[in-house]
Structure 1
């Protein structure tokens, strides 16, 4: 029986100084996959997560990490190094609805989890967060019931009303209501709504691209379930619980780690970049009613929000072909980004040397399963990127390219057909991008390679048009 070792590094109580030893220990223990529900904002070679992940990648360990919970603002994604699989969060096809019944008979229904056994007959007084603050200095925080801002003595026997516009904060009790006088209410037990539609939806808190360090690598890579996930929790209080419902990219990251372990168990010789490619190129971009994935505002989600889409582990077992990114390719990325030979050698402990023509725009040519171009001048010639793919499907196969692009962006693939054979397992192709007077800003699309049978290999692209 094949054993896949999955390592988990959690951020709670873990200082930056302890991160490097944590990676070293995981590598020494022989893990296959590392799941990281943590991250910071820092340049690549000043980021202990990125450095530790690089060494893990050098040793054949796949690193999967959370994209962060700073959405829906753009350029908020973390863990954006190309050797990390960066995960956004989406909803699941199950929701939980609670009803708040006011003393005046009015009912408010919304998403929430109440494990109470309260009934219509048992009511409690309401207390607004700002009125039960621990002291005057935290009134603004108490308004939204931020942790530690409420006075336990004042809240006892009452239901807290928390007013907030921050959807990333979870509260044991949240009521959004308007009331006068001395209002009372009860919270009825939560009702589960299965097979909820539409789902999945990109979570509002999920951090977005383009990557804050470079727009020439598309991040996040994929999304996975990260809202209202039943998870083990750190016990606290007089009656600690072992499990709770939690939301965040810290929840979606382990889903991808599990999917990667599933793929590794079937394809033990696949490298981390092959597994990442399989998860990305087979990801779903449709919800459970057959419509394109949306964000929580009701608009179609773009690759800066969902990456290549929602993971589909079963489809990823047979991706057709994959985009392999090597350690040497990642070193070239660091050269293109602007790091010197001296810094790269010190970090990687190699004799690798950067080419003399290294430039930031060449990052787009890293052999990645998606394409991103941070600057495409509408008045200049086309930008051309190259990719090389490795066949992992039928020995003899022919794929044809189908391009979906906005009307103002000319995207051409050549050759338009690629062929694999017993003696030809790797094939290269190029993609040109040329402005046809599209809207300024990012334009999104995809290239899907089809073998005429079951394999559809989809790579997304993001192209920023500048004046």
Structure 2
């Protein structure tokens, strides 16, 4: 018998033996592998001490482990403050045994999440002019009757509010985190400044009032943290956490810019005097000794939220999401956020960066403000001139310049290496190692967006000897131009321009091009438009809750940066910057969190649901050309599954007129209606739970109405505006449906008064237009007293269109 044949037979026999062992049913627990599971019991009663709680959690583990030593060694976290549960190493059989206990709400395996990666202009763009701080005014109480343009003064620039950020830490030396002019640390603050690698207690101040880090889940997966790729402390080595924190509450920093002059101006957070609490839950992923992205584990995040609630934060900003739809009882962020809401903490989360595919939004729980990403009116133009004399407008924040002359131009697919397999999905992508240096040297190379990172494509062109780089948008990206600090002269162009360049290359014997230096342009039009990457609805978990809720600036946002991270995060990029420009719903989320903090100061008695409602119903629907918001193409109208209720307008949210309030009990009833009857063991679901679309939400979504069905939805509004007022309803019905509101007039005698109305939705006979991606049509319900406009989006689909 030939050696190769013998080896093959041996392999087959070994596989058969393994399969027989796995299927034998013997020694099942020995074959089970310990994984991290979260065991959730609901809310603490408050009757036990922290030591008693941990002992109770140990006793549950001892019931499924062989010894008390094993039980104690397996425990990672005991959630002791508000959240009742623990994270531990369990086999699937042990997890299943615990899940069968009556007092256990849910048991779910931990899985890692990635950053959703998911500001000198964005705040001015949405109507907040961050001027010189009036210190004398800070000592006065906010005046809720002032005009809208005084929002920052009324909110004392956020002074007194505490925003907690779950991210990957902070660079405390940034000028954005100076505590000059900061007020005293609120007496309600109970948190700590946790020290660690290169992070001392002195790094906390009246701005950064707290810092903690959580990595037990991370280290269980990857082993001890490699401190060459991340700090074992709240310090940020990546830059993402510093960026989001300074967007929320960074101090005013004059003459800030990225890469030597881009976006030059005064950098500031939306609430520049808010207090910040940092919860580092995301860490660099080790890969062959190199950093490869960031990850965040459920058990670490849940521990951080549990601490944040006990610490006394008012708002949580969480720029973390997942592309995998997760039911609420198995979602650590959703569970933690529900406990936060019970303590009247506003929770803002990023929607994710999985667009433009529909049904991709994350953080879909109705007690969370879910934020999409849109543009601002600033561009970084770097025109591309072709050899035929045509000039196309591209964008970049690349500081490198070319000698002013024409250079040979090639498409990546023409100069790819012969050793790289050719296929339609990788041709033209400039993936690592794909370009042939002999074919690239001295040329400008055009690469297409798609697979791989944008900055990685530019690095590959430089590696192969290219002198310039063009990044062409795919059709899905349209006119959305995400700028990057590439490692060589570069520009990014929209999909129409990319097609034009390809036609020129293939129709010309010796194509040439020149990339002009980039410059910052303000009042760019149209703006805002939706970013193509922004995840969108319909809600993949509960379609009767419209998600995302709102959109905010998330495209090309300038904010503070870690000074040990390059602007591209590429390992071989030696540049270091104090401020950087990033894009993602990670950047839009802290904008809304800052606005929520301002509203918390102005209206300290408002519930978290009221603040969310005020932001949602006051959002805008037009761009700076006076036209309806568009998608990334700049031409096609966007819809509520992209922008929710519209582009956030914090100055309008401060005086919304009416709000749709909701209590913790309302959310439990919503969960009951969706079959989740034991999220809070102290609450007993009624025999007949209300329909989930009857949650008092500031938007309306109805899925799969049958042809002869009538859906009646109940809503209640609370008067937060003038004491005596009259509101009239105006409806724009979704195509193919009729919508009636009763009563259509609401009379209010005083502030705080509530009025209930019904919305009746029926399919119209005959054909109707629907969005071909979502099979939904959209409309609007607006209440107005002549001063306030309280607008709610409506999304409806019929069973015949599914």
Shared fold (TM-score greater than 0.5)? yes
Do structure 1's residue 316 and structure 2's residue 645 form an aligned pair? no
Task: Confirm or deny that 1:386 pairs with 2:714.
Answer: yes
Counterpart residue number, 1:37: 319
Could you tell me whether the CA contact under 8 Å between 1:82 and 1:217 is conserved in 2?
yes
Q: d(CA) in 2 for partners of 1:153 and 1:311?
A: 40
Change (3 A) 1:286 1:105: closer
Q: 1:356 aligns with which of 672, 683, 687?
A: 687
Query: 2:397, 2:483 within 8 Å by CA — same for their partners in 1?
Result: no
| Rounded Cα–Cα distance in structure 2 between residues aligned with 1:120 and 1:424 | 66
d(CA) in 1 for partners of 2:760, 2:798: 14
1:171-320 aligned at under 5 Å gives the runs 171=484, 172=486, 173-174=490-491, 176=498, 177-178=501-502, 179=505, 185-234=513-562, 235-236=565-566, 237-297=573-633, 298-320=635-657
Report SS of the residue matched to 2:393.
Answer: strand
Distance 2:448 2:784 in 1: 51
CA contact (8 A) 1:402 1:448 kept: yes
Deviation string for 1:128-167 (max 9, x for gaps)?
Answer: 5564779737965516582457558733562234556264
For residue 88 of structure 1, report the CA deviation from its aligned partner: 0.8
Q: Distance in 2 between matches of 1:133 and 1:154?
A: 13
**Aligned length in residues:** 456
In structure 2, relative to structure 1, the CA distance for the partners of 1:307 and 1:164 (3 Å cut) is: closer
- Give me the whole-angstrom Cα distance separating, in 2, the residues matched to 1:58 and 1:253: 21
User: Which residue in 2 is equivalent to 1:443?
Assistant: 777
Aligned equivalent of 1:21: 303
Which is worse superposed, 71-80 or 192-201?
A: 192-201
Q: Is the 8 A contact 2:355 2:532 kept in 1?
A: yes
Q: How far has the Cα of 1:39 moved from its partner? A: 0.8
Change (3 A) 1:153 1:429: closer
How far off is 1:56 after superposition?
1.5
Structure 1 unaligned residues grouped into runs of 5+: none
Q: Matched residues in 1 for 2:521 and 2:511: separation? A: 29
Aligned 8 A contact 1:65 1:86 in 2? yes
Q: Which residue of 1 aligns with 2:291?
A: none
Contact 1:214 1:374 in 2 (8 A): no
Distance 1:305 1:119, change over 3 A: same
Q: Which has the larger radius of gyration?
A: 2
| Counterpart position of 2:695 | 366
Q: What's the counterpart of residue 159 of structure 1?
A: 468
**Alignment partner of 1:70 is 2:354:** yes
Structure 1 position 104, deviation (Å): 7.4
Secondary structure at the aligned position of 1:111 is classed as coil
Contact 2:732 2:780 in 1 (8 A): yes
Greater shift, 247-256 or 23-32, is seen at: 23-32
In structure 1, the partner of 2:382 is: 98
Kindly state the Cα deviation for residue 35 of structure 1 after the two structures are TM-superposed: 1.0
Question: Deviation of residue 394 (structure 1)?
Answer: 1.5
Q: Which moved more, 1:243-252 or 1:100-109?
A: 100-109
**Correspondent of 1:5 among 159, 162, 171:** 162
Structure-2 separation of matches of 1:285 and 1:320: 18
TM-aligned CA deviation for residue 423 of structure 1: 8.7
CA distance in 1, matches of 2:531, 2:471: 21
Question: Does the aligned pair in 1 maintain the 2:350–2:589 contact within 8 Å?
Answer: yes
CA contact (8 A) 1:126 1:161 kept: no
Q: Deviations over 1:270-300 (max 9, x none)?
A: 1211111001111111112222222123222
Q: Is the 8 A contact 2:395 2:483 kept in 1?
A: no
Residue 463 of structure 1: SS of its match in structure 2?
A: strand
C-alpha spacing 1:126/1:159, structure 2 compared with 1 (3 Å) = farther
Q: Which residue of 1 aligns with 2:749?
A: 421
Q: Contact between 2:729 and 2:782, CA under 8 Å: does it hold in 1?
A: yes
Of the structure 1 ranges 415-424 and 324-333, higher mean CA displacement relative to structure 2 is found in: 415-424
Change (3 A) 1:108 1:289: closer
What's the CA shift for 1:310?
A: 0.7
Aligned partner of residue 136 in structure 1, secondary structure = coil
The superposition leaves residues 380-425 of structure 1 with CA deviations (integer Å, 9 ceiling, x where unpaired) of: 2x21010111111112222111111146322111111112224971
State how far apart, in whole Å, the 2-side matches of 1:273 and 1:460 are: 17
Segment drifting more, 369-378 vs 133-142: 133-142
The TM-score, its normalising length taken from structure 1, stands at 0.89
**3-state SS, counterpart of residue 328 of structure 1:** helix
Q: CA RMSD in A?
A: 2.7
**Alignment partners' CA distance in 1, 2:396 and 2:338:** 40
Correspondent of 1:457 among 786, 790, 793: 790
Cα distance in structure 2, aligned partners of 1:55 and 1:199: 37
- In the alignment, the residues of structure 2 paired with residue 248 and residue 96 of structure 1 have an alpha-carbon distance, to the nearest angstrom, of 17
| SS of aligned partner of 1:292 | coil
Q: Which runs of 5+ in 2 are unaligned?
A: 1-138, 140-158, 168-281, 283-293, 432-446, 493-497, 567-572
Aligned in 2, Cα 1:181/1:292: closer, same or farther, shift over 3 Å?
closer
Q: Provide the C-alpha distance between the structure 1 equivalents of 2:462 and 2:636, rounded to a whole number of angstroms.
A: 44
Q: 1:218–1:304: 8 Å Cα contact kept in structure 2?
A: yes
How far off is 1:246 after superposition?
Answer: 1.7
2:613–2:659: 8 Å Cα contact kept in structure 1?
yes
Q: In structure 2, do the counterparts of structure 1 residues 250 and 409 end up closer, same or farther at CA, with 3 Å as the change threshold? A: same
| Mapped contact 1:126–1:159 kept (Cα < 8 A) | no
Once residues 329 and 365 of structure 2 are traced to their aligned partners in structure 1, the CA distance between those partners, rounded to angstroms, is: 10
Q: Residues of 2 paired with 1:162 and 1:278: CA distance?
A: 40
* Aligned counterparts of 2:627 and 2:468: Cα–Cα separation in 1: 40
Please name the residue that 1:337 is paired with: 674
- Any idea what SS the aligned residue of 2:364 has? coil
User: 1:399 matched to which residue of 2?
Assistant: 727
Contact 1:127 1:158 survives alignment (8 Å):
no
Residues 401 and 96 (structure 1 numbering): CA distance in 2 closer, same or farther, change over 3 Å? same
